[in-house]
Structure formats: C-alpha cells, structure tokens
Amino acid sequence: MIKSQTKQPNTNERAIYEPCPCREVVDTVREFLGISPAVRQHFANSRVEFLKAIREILNERIERLSSQGQQGTKLTVE
C-alpha cells in the first residue's frame, strides 16, 4: 500500500505565478490612458462607497424582514 505524501508549504518558498492576460490588458489600458494617482484614489474610494451602499441595502432588507415577525400555527397544549 502506497501512501501519498502531502508536502507542507514552506514559508520561505516563494510562489511563481504566470502573468494574467486580463491583468496585462488592464495595465496596458491604464498606461495608455495615463491614469494619474489621483484618479486611482477616486476609483478606490468609489469601490468603498459602492460596497457601503450594498451593505446599507442588505441592512435595510434584514430590518424589513425582521420587523415582519414570524408567522406560524398555534397549537393547543393539553
């Protein structure tokens, strides 16, 4: 019976990644358009604000569902 051995990842080893074609396209477009650091900061802020908006939508939905109360059937206990 042959046991398969699993190699524990060594924290000193560095992973080598293949370049991502999508990332390369984004980087090329960014260089072509000449996006400044200020514009990048605006995009970063907009992502945060978008996620906050999604969170608020979820919180409102949770509140609405929680305030409706739970419906069930009444049972008579003898």
What is the helix, strand, coil percentage profile of the chain, to 5? 55, 0, 45
34 backbone φψ class: left, alpha, beta (φ>0; ψ -120 to 50): left
pLDDT at 56: 97
Q: Using DSSP, state whether 16 is helix, strand or coil.
A: coil
Query: How do residues 54-78 score in pLDDT, each as one tens digit?
Result: 999 999 999 998 888 767 778 888 8
Query: How do residues 20-63 score in pLDDT, each as one tens digit?
Result: 888 788 788 888 888 888 888 888 888 899 999 999 999 999 99
Amino acid identity for residue 18 in this structure: E
Residue 9 pLDDT greater than 60, yes or no:
no
- pLDDT confidence band for 8 (50 / 70 / 90): low
